[in-house]
Amino acid sequence: DPYFVRWAIDKIISWKNLSVFENLIHIHGTEDRIFPIKYTKPDIIIKGGGHFMIVDQTKEIENHIIKIVEKSKV
């Protein structure tokens, strides 16, 4: 839908977030063409991960999340 795409691009470009949660963990893929990694500061980088990596690299992401949860239990 071209109207949604235009709306979404405008919201991304004009977003002025001023707060970052203390416990936020940013997982980002090296091959994300929608949000290129060079414009981000991720905590965890998934090599070869694209914008759809939650589907095609599920196991690697799951392993990172499990490690995060285990650390938080200490």
Nearest to 39 by CA among 18, 19, 59, 13: 13
Q: Indicate whether this model's pTM tops 0.85.
A: no
**CA 62, CA 46: separation in Å to the nearest integer?**
11
d(CA 30, CA 2): 27
pLDDT in tens, 21-49: 888 999 999 999 989 999 999 999 999 99
pLDDT in tens, 52-68: 999 999 999 999 999 99
